[in-house]
Each structure stands twice: as structure tokens, then as C-alpha cells.
Structure 1
Amino acid sequence: MSGQGRNLTPIIVERHGPKKAPMSSSLAKSVSLALLLSIALPVAVVPALELDTERFMPLEEVQPGMTGVGRSVFQGTTIEEFDAEIISILKNAFPKHDLILARLSGGPIEEAGVIAGMSGSPVYIDGRMIGAVGYSFGLFPKEPIAGITPIEQMLELFEREDRSTHPQLTRHEETWEELLAGFVYSRASEPSHTARSLAETAAIRHPLPSGGGISPVRTPLVLSGFDATAISEMTSLLDRFGFIPIQGGAYSGEEAAEIPLEPGAVLGVQLVGGDASAFAIGTLTYREGDRILAFGHSMFNSGQAAAPITNGYVHLVLKSLYDSYKMGAPVGIVGTLGQDRIPGITGRLGTEPDLIPFDITVASPGLPAPETFHLEIFDDPIFAPQFVRWSLASIVRTTNRGLGNITLHADTEVELRSGQTLHLDNIFSDLTAIDAAGEELGTSIALLMLNPLERAQIARMQTRVAIEETLRTASIERLHLEQTRVHPEEEVALHIWLRPHLERPIPVQTRIAVPADVPDGTYQLIVSDAATAQAIEVLRATWRFIPTEFDQLLHLLEDQDRNDEIILTLILPRPGAVVRGEELPLLPPSVLHVMQPELEAGEGGMTGGKVVFRTDISTDFVITGAKTIPLTVDRSESSVRK
């Protein structure tokens, strides 16, 4: 990963707990039942573990009034101790999940409260670990009250990991179908299901806590290489997952191998690395050989997961009445995330995760020469497309002027590990060109990664962006056919007038010929922009846009008309059918009747007409608008041509 030392050799350190803490004589205060009602989270049943009671204190032994110490990093890489006083045990705080209620003190906690980034900080009583700081209470608490996830529940994640197979990256088929529908229709209207809305839907399932609720200790997501616009958008989306997106920077200092990985050390999850970085800060709870536990709560609650885990450095603790947090930076990748579930996350040291290399090359008037940015994005079908979108938009915005219309040409090559490739190429021109390019790319990548047809693993991506600081748009103003009645194969001249922005209309001339085998009749010649042409085609033959094979999906994504093309479509309004993605036009009524059971069984659908002619004309403008003119095909010798 660019700019980071990578050490994938496990760092062996001696495990040890802190010195024993004396028992406290203070009694716990009672806790309102209202605190228990803010989260209801699913959990799978796993076999009970035999706990090593020499190293771990069972929950049944933890009593109100006990005192202990926790371990965390508040500055640099030095692990410091803080105090914890047990208040009570919250039985069944979540389904089959208990919490230990504790009052924390010592160090910066006195002023900062429970600090975002402390997630996973281990807590010990009499030298035995009881669990990890994982939860906080309320929005503006007057004292640092924390929920400690019992160590038994966290250790069960190792059992899940032992039984797990490779992460299944494909989500529910209905999610993919909604995303596909949004992609197909979005070019002609406001997108209802795009990469962005998909992640927003996932976020809604993680409601923000009420003022008196239990919520996971928030996770700082330290960002570098992203602009303020992208960070603002990340905040609105990732806030529901408990992240605090903050602008930070990289760290150059100790190598990864020089930082011991022991309970209390900084442990993070690297979502993006390279010339842009997104680093989620937490704390290592427990290490057993090359396996680790951390966080004390979920990150995305995605189950099996695969992302780089890193050690890290804390620049400072920023104290706030609302959210105090650790500002830090990753130092080096040390392994791979394994499980992401309610009790915490697991990881395995010394392993190298699968990442998506993403290179972005920008040619812009704001740069003396084209510049290439190298990124690596964690391989997740829901959030990788978001970071593709955010990364592309941020880099283009920071290398281009901040205000005014631009014209943006984006050309992307996606290589899959199967050897297949996907080529995406389009042009955008207006105030929203950067966001539109990012949204289209992100949605295409989401469709690829979420598809239920075949597992798509991206080997690498490269996007080339060319920017002009001008508006290049033109609308279709009018049409003229020199003849409106023709014989098959007879050429006819078509005149199109385009009106560029702030300019006089300009003519575009072409000639069209009706194919020889089409029947007589009156056709509709539609001259339109790419978005309108696709919308018409979707209404005419919706089933053509529902791939049943992976190659069909690649073709659908790749075979999109460019925004700078005029699309000519000649349609005969007669019914036909699509079966398994293949169009069967101009079928006799008797054949359509025979095929009806197969169509009703979900193998295809009806079409609203036959496209007998379709071509495109490249222009120097992003085209908008559509016009229609009738054209009659008549084989009779006496037909009158006009």
C-alpha cells in the first residue's frame, strides 16, 4: 500500500495483564430499564465455551463494587491504564447478550468521557480480563459510564471463525434487482436505487440512538486524501454505523514491526489505503497466537468480512462535550479482518487481505501534466462502491476548479480475476458532472459485485479522467426528413438541428436506410439523447435488461450509449417477446399465445414493438432532448413519396 510499510509477519509479544486492583467498597447504582431499549440486534446461537478462569473472569463472578483497570492508547503508541468501577450487570441487554456497566476514570477520561476509539480496550479485575469497553450511554452524559462486552461473548467469535468458510460477498437477490432497476431507469429520471441509496438503505437499519439509549462507542474514521464534500457525504451515511469521519493525515515514524500488538494497543481497520486513506480506529482486546479480538462491538455487523487490519498511532485525544475521539493514523497492515459481529471483530495476523487496486489518472487545466493516484479499497460489495465513488469525486474536485461548469470524460477499465474485463466510457457536462461520473461508476461496480449470477472478484481498476473547464451541451431542437414514405433499403436524408449552450443552432446531417426484410407499415423514428433512448427501450422491452447470465450483465453494463451521442431508433409498434434475455420480434399472434405459459413462468416477457433500425451519431456535445417523426415503409410502385 502506497506510503505505508507493510509487515505481514506476526509480532510475537508476551501476553500479560495489568497489576491487580483492590476491591472497592462502593455499591452500584440502579440502572433505568429505558437504557436497555434502544437496540435490538440479532444473534446466532453458538456452543458455550470452556473459559480459562486463570486468564479470564467469568461474568458470573463480576459483582457491583469491584474495581479494575483498563488499557488503551491515548498518545503515540504507549499503552496506558485507566480505572473501572463495576456498577451493575445488564442481563440480556441485547438478545442473549449481557453488558457490564462500569464507571471509568483516569487519564484523559476525566475530561473527555468515554472516548471514541476506546472500543475494545480490555478491562481486568485482579489480573483477569472481564471484557472490553464497547458501549456508551446517552448523548451528553455527565460522567463516563461504559458498557463492557463480556469476554465470553467475544471469545465465541473465534468459534464462529473456525466454522466459517470464505466470505459470501453476494447479498440478497432482491437488493441486486432493485439496484439493477435503478441503474436502468436512472439515466432518464432521478435514480431511486443507486450505489449511494443502497448504502443508505443499509444505514437505516442502524438507527441513531435516542438521548438515553445504549450505543456502541463511536469509531473515528480518520480520512486523508478526501475533500470536505466527500467527508460531509460520508458523515451523513456512516454516522448511523457509529463512525465519526474526521479529516486527518498519514503518519511517518515507527515501522509496523516496532509496535507491539498486545491488549490495549491501537488496532484499526483500513477501508482505503494509498494516496487516499480511510482508517477506523479501535483497540486490540485479546491476542491468541496469530488470532486477535477487538472493538467490543461490530463495525458494520457484516458477519464474515475481509479487510486489512493495521496497528496505528494516536496523535491526540480531541476532547468534546458531544464526541471526544482519538485522532490517529495507520502504521502498517498486520493481518486480515475475519468476523464482524455484535460482540466485536476478529482478525488473523500475518495474512494478506484481498484488496481492489484502483488507479485514477486525471488530466486537468489545474495540473501541469496528467497525474495518477494509486488507491487500494477493501473488498466489500456494499461499501467498496461507495469508496470508489467518493475517491473518484474527491480526487477530481481537488485537481480541478471548485466552482463552475465543467466537461468530464471518464474512461474505466475493470479487470476481473476470472480474466474477463469491463470497459465503461462516458462524458458529462454541467455543474454536477463530477458527482454524476462518480455515481455512475459506483453503481456499475455495485451491480458487478452484488450480482447473484457469478462471483465477481475485481483484480484491478483504472479510471482515466479528462477535464475541460467549459460547458459542452446541446439540445435537439428540430428534425426534417426529406422523404416520409420509402421503399425498403432506400436511403433518405435526415437533418437534425442542435442548439449548443449560448450558441446558434447547428445542423447535423445523416442518411438512413430501412432494412430490406421489414414489413410495410408506419414506423416511429426517434431522435434522442442516450438517457431517453434507454428509457424508451426499457419501456419497450423491459426483460432485455434483466440478465440471466454473467456475460449478459457485463454486456449490459458495457453497452451503454454515451451522453455525447445522438441516438436514432426506428420502431415498428408490433408485439414480440424476450425469452432468457433473447428478443424474438414480430411473432405471429398464434406463436405468442403458445409461448404465454413460458413467459408467465418468469422466463421472459412481452415487448411493445420491434426496433428495426438503431444507430448513433457522435458529437462534440453532451446531448439532451428528443424528437419523433413518422416514417412509412411502402413497397407498392404507386406509393407517393414526400
Structure 2
Amino acid sequence: RPDMVGYCLTVYRGQTVEKFGLRVLSVVPNWEPGRDAILVVGTDERLIHTGTVAGCSGSPVFLDGRMAGALAAGWFGSKDPLYFVTPIEYMLGIGTGTGPAHEPTVTLDYTRPVDLAATDAAFRRQVARYLRRRDPTGQTLLPVVTSLTPQAIEAAAEYFETMGLAPVAAGQGTTSSAAMSADFEPGGVLVMPLVSGDISMAGTGTVTEVVGDKVYGFGHAFGGTGAVDLPMAGGTIHTVVPGLLRAFKYSSAGPIVGAIRYDEAMGILGIRGATPKLIDLTIRVTRYNDPQQRTYRCRVAVDKLRTPSLCQSALIGAVSMYGDLPPEHMIRYRGSLVTEGLGVLRFENVSSGSGFSDVASDVGGAIQKLMFNPFGETQIRSLELDVDVAERNIRASIKSVQVSDTVLKPGQTLRIDVLLQSYLAEKTTVTLQLALPEDLKPGTHEVQIFGSEGYTKHLSNAAPHRLTGYDLPSLGRALQNLLDIRRDRLYAVLALPAAGLTVQQEELPDLPATRSLVMQDATRLEPYMQPMQQWIVAHKDPGRIVLNQQAVKITVEEP
């Protein structure tokens, strides 16, 4: 009831739990649908000095000597330290199936050819929208203290925004186990090490209650997705950093000593002694302005909503540790994504002039496609990347195309000289040799010349089955087929008449014409059965990323 006097337990420095005076202002019915909350104001001088503090979420509140609930949200920038309190009976229902239903978070399209950039954009848009719906005013944001530099945080800003995280560059490491108690107590530090190791990102809150091995905390959702498997640790608070708009607890995580098993609207529930699944992440960075190769070894939490963006943020942060990308830049990268059940996906490609978008969408899009696939659960075990940043622009455009002859016979070879003009008007000629089939029909034919973007579009239209997953194994093959398309490759493609059939990813090019016609009859057509488009292709790696395309026509005469 209003004007009741009580206190909360929390840590403002070190690991010592202290009492902080509070006064009840009101009970707010339906603060969220079906959920009441208690509105309190801090009366302790320390609370008044700092205002509402991110990281106090979960701090247990006592009224009349009994635990009434946990601090859960507040108004950052408020002149008074105001907090909403989640009643304790709501929190003790976490993991019992009595909370609100968990809404779907992300739906990705698996019916079309894989497009990793489009997948990444759709994923981040849906996750950001979902998290904004859960917390439209940012009242329940956890402070995420990270070892990334301010410039690295800025470089990865859009990915932190996707995750609904407010990163703080504070050089977080892991406190030594000798200085860290493995016990949890009401009011103690509760840390979620999302990334640990050479790069760290950890969300900090407070323990509400401990019942046996069960640890309740936060008083609000982290993602609200229900059953989870996230790392749980204690920690230490170095200080509370006051701010005009936002105050936060500057913390360090202790060793992982348990796993958070439920993430629901009323808070989180962890189990001491449980072992969470983690992804091993290794990033090796070579930069034009750093004489030494830098290696970062980390472990990343497994969480559908945030794992892809955590890996992207760690990657971008690692590459940006020693400076931003230069205006004219080239990024070469290679690596491997090790999965359970699908084996290894391999990356090897290059980008130029597009910032981190290409490498980030390749890595993030592949993880997203695997984690949200509808065919079966896939465990990601490790991700290893080697990244080389050079101060160079390798983008180019096709200025002209010359062919050896515009009139040819079947079986002859067409020579194609492609003049490329790259940055600062540098020109180079690339020669492609396209061998015409012996059975090529007479008539006019068109040869398309393009870079990787044009070839990917061609493949999506002419052979969509190669880039489409119909089950888990074919999804793995589709992802690898796409990742194998290099951006610094030049292609010449001559389309041929369709011959044969495809059944999912199986190609049947040598079917007799009569058999093919019978199988294509609408009454006999099986799902995923399509006529098989044929083409011939020549390619060469000119060390340039070709941005446009051109076409030439040739005439094929009777042999």
C-alpha cells in the first residue's frame, strides 16, 4: 500500500550485498497485460545520487520484513530513483508453465534460394521489432559491459541495436576464481556472459531469490523466449557509474558456474552447477596498419535471438580493435563453421568498399539459416575466421566486351576479351574462353558477362534447387553452394535449352526426351520436380569485384 517503507538488497561495490531504503508510491494494476506492479522510490542517499541504475534489475524488495518482489524497470533520466517491482509470486512461477505464452520471434523463408544478405536483414529486422514490443521504452535494458573499444562498439552498433543491448566499453575481463565466490544470494551479482574470453560481453543484473540450486533474478525478461540454455556467473561491481540520462553498474563476470534455463516475462531462472552449451569462436585479424596478427579466442552463448548478432559483433569488434576500416578497403576472409549433423561449412571470399556488410551477412546469415531451420535441430560447435584488411579498392566495372568472332560453328571456342576499369581509372583486360557444345543448335545466342552478383542471380533463376534447402542435408549443401561463389570472379554464361529434370537437389540431365515429357505431365508431377535448365560457363579470377554486366550476341551456323 502507498507510503509503506521497506528496502531492497543489491551490490553497489565489490560483492557485498547492502540494504537500500525504499518507499511505496502506488500499486499499478495491469502494468503489463495480466500483470500488476508495485511502484517504489529510493530513499537511500546513494539511490538518490545515482538515480535509476541499470543492473539493479532483480534486486529483492522487502516490505514488512517479507520479500515482496524484485526491482524490474525504471525511467532512465528521471530525477528520482523510481522503480517498478515485479511481485515475487510471479517470479516463483518461472519455469512452471504458468506464465504467458511465448510468441514466435523470427520466421525465415526456406522456400526460395538462399540469399544471406536478405536473410540477415530480415532476421535483424524481426528480432529488433520483437524486442521493441517487449520493451518499447527501454525500461528493462541490462547494461552490457564489453572489452571492445569505443570505436569497435560504434562499428558494430547496428548489431548491438538488433539485440536490444546497450554496450558499455569498460574493458571487462573475468575476475579470478580465487577472488570470486561461487555462491549466489539474494541481492548478489548475477551476470550473463554472452561472450567470454579475449572478447567479453556480459549483461549484469541481480539475484532475487535462491531456492536450493535454483537462482531467480532480473525481475523481467532478457528475451522472453521461454526455455533457454545461457551461461550464468557471479561477478563483482567495480562501481556504479551515475549519468544524466542513464546510470549503470560497471561489472566484471566471474567464471561460469551454472546455466539459465528459463527466460520469461517475470524474470530468469538459472540452475547452479548446470553446464550451458557454448560456441567456440576464434578470430585471427591481420591489418595493413598493424605489424602483428591478432588472435581472439572466445566462447559465445547459444541463444537464437542473439547468437548470430553476437558473432557478428565480436567479428566486427575484433577487426576494429586497432582502428576503423580505411575509406578504400578490401577484406579477405576465410573460415569454417563446424556443426553437429551437417559437418563443416567453409567460408572463403573477399569484399571491398562495402564495410563489414558482406562478411557479416555471410557469417550471420549462415548461422541464422541453421538455427531457425524447420527441418531439425542443428548444433553449432565452433566458428573460426581469418580476416585480412588491406588499404585497397578492388571494385571494377565492365567498360567493353570484344569477341573473337560473332559467327561460329558448334564445337568452336569463343574468345571473350573483357575490359575492366577499376578505382582511379585503372584498366585491365581479362580473357575468357567459352567452348561451344558440339550439339549447339544453329541460331542467335546471347552470352552474358557478369561478376558474382550476376552469376548468383543467374543460378537462382536457372538452378534454384542448388541454392534451396528441402531438408537438413540439402540446406547444408545449398549454403555451401552459395558460399562457394567468390565475389572476385568474372563469368561468361551461355544459356542452353532445358533438358532433363531436377528432383529437389538431384539433377537428371540425361533423361530421354520422351521420358522427360511424361514426367513433366501435370498429373505425374512430383513436388520439387522441375525442368533442368542447361548452360555453359567460363570464369576467371581477375582480382576485381565486378559490379555490372554486359551481353553480346553470337550467331551459330550449321556445322
TM-score (norm 2): 0.89
Q: Out of 55, 66, 88, which is 1:151 matched to?
A: 88
* Residue 496 of structure 2 is aligned to residue 572 of structure 1: yes
Q: 1:65 to 1:257 in 2, by over 3 A?
A: same
- Counterpart of 1:533 in structure 2 is 455
* Residue 535 of structure 2 is aligned to residue 612 of structure 1: yes
1:583 to partner: Cα distance: 5.3
Q: 1:424 to 1:204 in 2, by over 3 A?
A: same
Q: Is the 8 A contact 1:297 1:344 kept in 2?
A: yes
- Counterpart of 1:207 in structure 2 is 132
> What secondary structure is seen at the aligned counterpart in 2 of 1:368?
strand
Counterpart CA distance in 2 for 1:282 and 1:491 is 69
Query: Counterpart of 1:466 in structure 2: which amino acid?
Result: D
- Counterpart of 1:591 in structure 2 is 517
1:93 to partner: Cα distance: 2.6
Q: Out of 373, 378, 390, which is 1:456 matched to?
A: 378
Query: Counterpart of 2:53 in structure 1: which amino acid?
Result: I
> What secondary structure is seen at the aligned counterpart in 1 of 2:470?
coil
Q: Is the 8 A contact 1:120 1:294 kept in 2?
A: yes
- Counterpart of 1:90 in structure 2 is 28
Q: 1:613 to 1:262 in 2, by over 3 A?
A: same
1:564 to partner: Cα distance: 0.9
- Counterpart of 1:426 in structure 2 is 349
Q: Is the 8 A contact 1:426 1:563 kept in 2?
A: yes
Counterpart CA distance in 2 for 1:363 and 1:633 is 50
* Residue 275 of structure 2 is aligned to residue 356 of structure 1: no
Indicate the larger mover: 357-366 or 260-269: 357-366
Q: Out of 36, 40, 45, which is 1:102 matched to?
A: 40
- Counterpart of 1:175 in structure 2 is 108
- Counterpart of 2:78 in structure 1 is 141
- Counterpart of 2:432 in structure 1 is 510
Query: Counterpart of 2:208 in structure 1: which amino acid?
Result: T
Q: Out of 105, 120, 127, which is 1:195 matched to?
A: 120
Q: Out of 468, 493, 502, which is 2:415 matched to?
A: 493
Q: Is the 8 A contact 1:363 1:371 kept in 2?
A: yes
Q: Is the 8 A contact 2:469 2:476 kept in 1?
A: no
Counterpart CA distance in 1 for 2:150 and 2:226 is 30
- Counterpart of 2:315 in structure 1 is 392
- Per-residue CA shift, 1:296-352, capped at 9, x if unaligned? 000111211111111111121122232222111212212111111100001111122
Q: Is the 8 A contact 1:364 1:400 kept in 2?
A: no
Counterpart CA distance in 1 for 2:253 and 2:538 is 52
Indicate the larger mover: 530-539 or 400-409: 400-409
1:83 to partner: Cα distance: 1.7
1:455 to partner: Cα distance: 1.9
Query: Counterpart of 1:416 in structure 2: which amino acid?
Result: T
Query: Counterpart of 1:128 in structure 2: which amino acid?
Result: R
1:541 to partner: Cα distance: 4.5
- Per-residue CA shift, 1:509-537, capped at 9, x if unaligned? 23221233444443321111001111233
- Counterpart of 1:12 in structure 2 is none
Q: 1:231 to 1:290 in 2, by over 3 A?
A: farther
Q: 1:215 to 1:422 in 2, by over 3 A?
A: closer
Within a 5 Å distance, the mapping from 1:213-224 to structure 2 comes to 216-224=139-147
Indicate the larger mover: 99-108 or 456-465: 99-108
Query: Counterpart of 1:565 in structure 2: which amino acid?
Result: R
Indicate the larger mover: 615-624 or 279-288: 615-624
Counterpart CA distance in 1 for 2:545 and 2:227 is 43
- Counterpart of 1:38 in structure 2 is none
Counterpart CA distance in 2 for 1:625 and 1:215 is 43
- Counterpart of 1:71 in structure 2 is 9
Q: Is the 8 A contact 2:326 2:391 kept in 1?
A: no
Q: Is the 8 A contact 1:484 1:630 kept in 2?
A: yes
Counterpart CA distance in 2 for 1:523 and 1:83 is 83
* Residue 548 of structure 2 is aligned to residue 625 of structure 1: yes
Query: Counterpart of 2:347 in structure 1: which amino acid?
Result: L
Q: Out of 281, 288, 293, which is 2:204 matched to?
A: 281
Q: Is the 8 A contact 2:119 2:369 kept in 1?
A: no
Within a 5 Å distance, the mapping from 1:235-314 to structure 2 comes to 238=161, 241=164, 243-251=165-173, 252=175, 255=178, 257-258=180-181, 260-314=183-237
Q: Out of 13, 36, 50, which is 1:112 matched to?
A: 50
Counterpart CA distance in 2 for 1:209 and 1:554 is 33
Q: 1:484 to 1:239 in 2, by over 3 A?
A: closer
Percent identity between the aligned chains? 24
List alignment gaps of at least 5 residues for structure 1: 1-62, 638-642
- Per-residue CA shift, 1:377-401, capped at 9, x if unaligned? 1112332111221221221122456
Q: Is the 8 A contact 1:114 1:217 kept in 2?
A: no
1:214 to partner: Cα distance: 8.0
Q: Is the 8 A contact 1:84 1:102 kept in 2?
A: yes
1:154 to partner: Cα distance: 0.7
Q: Is the 8 A contact 2:105 2:130 kept in 1?
A: no
Alignment coverage as a number of residue pairs: 553
Query: Counterpart of 1:285 in structure 2: which amino acid?
Result: T
Q: Is the 8 A contact 1:204 1:240 kept in 2?
A: no
Q: 1:250 to 1:217 in 2, by over 3 A?
A: same
Counterpart CA distance in 1 for 2:520 and 2:324 is 61
- Counterpart of 1:81 in structure 2 is 19
Q: Is the 8 A contact 2:125 2:162 kept in 1?
A: no
After superposition, the CA RMSD in angstroms is 3.3
> What secondary structure is seen at the aligned counterpart in 2 of 1:75?
coil
> What secondary structure is seen at the aligned counterpart in 2 of 1:108?
helix
Counterpart CA distance in 1 for 2:551 and 2:137 is 60
Q: Out of 550, 559, 566, which is 2:472 matched to?
A: 550
Q: Is the 8 A contact 2:59 2:187 kept in 1?
A: yes
Query: Counterpart of 2:437 in structure 1: which amino acid?
Result: P
